[in-house]
Structure 1
């Protein structure tokens, strides 16, 4: 692989991550503000006093809504990373070749430009071989727990406002509400993966690394 010697601006070199991080922060702020207003409207209907934005950001309503979405995204990426190792889809730009050896399958070789775990070898390299999947899996489990915690806190808050007894987190885990929140997000993530896997067989986007070349045949697998 050729290394570019051209000097580029910081934004040119990092534009993709900077734009998506900026959009994430803006959307999270918008979610917090609109969620705060929605939550206070619900509290008003229950004849409860409104809460401040600072208090709302620590509430079960905000924590649950935020990590419910994080959870599904990290689950999507963990499964996508690990399942594309062994599974194929003929004609998809998101699949490895059906027959040819892929660059990502070659054994790592130590060298001055190789990441330090490659040069270290041993168990460190074994973990590094799967570090992307491990990270997404850990982030999924953390997000799943915080979603459960936030949803449980919000559930008990509603119980208190309605004069009902509070549930333990174990008891809440057996109820349909938490799992409904999870599955409605999980199914959308599975659909989005299936969509890009299948649609890249027939459709193109010139210049995108997520697409095959415009003139590539539909039966060509990989980029």
Structure 2
């Protein structure tokens, strides 16, 4: 068990703080929701009922879709685009999908390579793009979940105000949906741009996301 924790400590650490943050969001969100219920002469709800509500679902989904969009775009952009001096970029001159030798596929596969890396056709194409496909799928599902949950939450509010409910099509082209969506997107894009640019000149000793402390500012694609 100790060895498993050590070898997977990075994933386990972020999974733990994700769960803690999600729980904290549920507690804080329930308190905010119940405050509004009292203002509207409604009944407070339990934390479990709040977690099952569209209000909680839309807040979670809109954050997830923006995060996975960020990673999807970063994964795809770094295939073709480079940034001189950044460890988040490939080395200059290696733009593109690279050769089979560089990617260790087909006859260039090594012992321990995934079995599909040695195959051809569809299996090789799938494993060669599997990270992007999965990130894109999670983004699409999260975006859909956000739109459905947001519609349900918005219509509940509209009915409280004695207004007619919206349909899904009207909601996803409306200002409420895109205001929430673009609010998250712009922060994710700024965070990526900051990481790419700041890592040219700044260092974090021992981090895989930083260049070695003594590496030149112009060194590209080198991680500590």
TM-score normalized by the length of structure 1: 0.91
Match 1:42 to one of 36, 43, 59: 36
- In structure 2, do the counterparts of structure 1 residues 45 and 218 end up closer, same or farther at CA, with 3 Å as the change threshold? same
Match 2:4 to one of 6, 10, 13: 10
Does 2:88 match 1:89? no
Alignment partners' CA distance in 2, 1:119 and 1:98: 28
What's the offset of the Cα at 1:175? Answer: 1.4
Which residue does 1:136 correspond to in 2? 135
Residues 84 and 220 in structure 2, CA contact (< 8 A), matched pair in contact too: yes
Superimposed CA distance per residue, residues 9-50 of structure 1 (whole angstroms, 9 cap, x where no aligned partner): 222101100100000001001111111111111122122212
Which residue does 1:54 correspond to in 2? 48
Q: Which has the higher contact order (CA 8 A, sep 6+)?
A: 1
Superimposed CA distance per residue, residues 113-156 of structure 1 (whole angstroms, 9 cap, x where no aligned partner): 11121133221110110100110000000000001111111101
Superimposed CA distance per residue, residues 73-132 of structure 1 (whole angstroms, 9 cap, x where no aligned partner): 000000011100110111111111113699975141345411121133221110110100
What's the offset of the Cα at 1:69? Answer: 0.3
Q: Please, which runs of 5 or more residues in structure 2 have no aligned partner?
A: none
Does 2:159 match 1:160? yes
Which residue does 1:219 correspond to in 2? 218
- In structure 2, do the counterparts of structure 1 residues 102 and 216 end up closer, same or farther at CA, with 3 Å as the change threshold? farther
Counterparts of 1:180-195 in structure 2, within 5 Å, are: 180-195=179-194
Does 2:206 match 1:207? yes
TM-score normalized by the length of structure 2: 0.91
- Paired residues, number: 216
Q: Please, which runs of 5 or more residues in structure 1 have no aligned partner?
A: 1-7
CA RMSD of aligned residues (A): 1.8
